Amino acid sequence: MQNHEFPIVLASSSKYRRELLTRILREFEHASPDIDETPISGESPQECASRLAKLKAKALAQAFPAHWIIGSDQLATLDGLILGKPLSKERAIAQLTLCSGRQVCFITSLTLFNSQTEETKEYLEEVIVAFRDLTEAEILAYIEQEQPLDCAGSFKCEGLGITLFESIKSKDPNTLIGLPLIGLTRLLLEAGINPLLK
C-alpha cells in the first residue's frame, strides 16, 4: 500500500483546526486525543510542544491503525515562561495583563504519524506577537465577549483577539490559529500526499 492511500485523521477537538484543515483536504476524519498536557520539568517550550503533538497523534493509533494522523500542539511563551490555558477568568485577566505591551512567542508543533508503519514527520513554527498596551477595561471586555478560557495565552486570533495586537510576525497566517498549513502541506508532500491532486 502506498503512503497516499492511507486515510487521514486530525487528532484534535478544535473546531478551528478542523476548519483550517478543510482548506487543503477535502476528506479526513477527526477525533479527540486524551492525553496529559502537563509540561515536564526541565523541558523547553519547543520540546514540550513537539512532545505533545506526537503524543496526540500516537494516542489515536489504536483507533485508527492504518492512517496518517495529524497531531498539533501550540504553546504561548513570554520570556521563556509557558502561558498555559487560563481555565478561569482570573487567570485570563492575569495573563493578558502580563502580556500587555510585550512580545509573546507562540510555538506550534506538528506531527504527521503513520499508525501502520510508525513513520513520523515533524514540523515546528514560531510566531511573534506584539501586544499593544491594554487597559483593564479592554481586558475585561475582551474576556467577557470571547471567553478565551481554553486558549493558550487567553486569546483567539480568529475573533476579537486580533484587536489586542500591534503586529504579528509569521511565515503562515494560519499558524496562530493552531495549524500551520504551509508546514503541513510540506509534511503531506513528503508522505506522498499532494493536496492539489488528492
The partner residues of 147 in beta bridges, in order of sequence, read none
| DSSP assigned state of 92 | H
Contact call for residues 72 and 179 (beta carbons, < 8 A): yes
- One-letter identity of residue 89: K
Contact call for residues 132 and 117 (beta carbons, < 8 A): no
> What are the E-state strand segments in 79-177?
81-83, 103-114, 120-131, 165-169
Q: If DSSP states are collapsed to H, E and C, what string results for 28-48?
A: CEEECCCCCCCCCCCCCHHHH
Active-site residue, selected from the candidate residues 34, 36, 73, 133: 73
Give CA–CA dist 163/154, Å, rounded.
13
* 79 catalytic per annotation: no
Grid coordinates of 84? 498555559
Contact call for residues 121 and 183 (beta carbons, < 8 A): no
Catalytic residues: 73
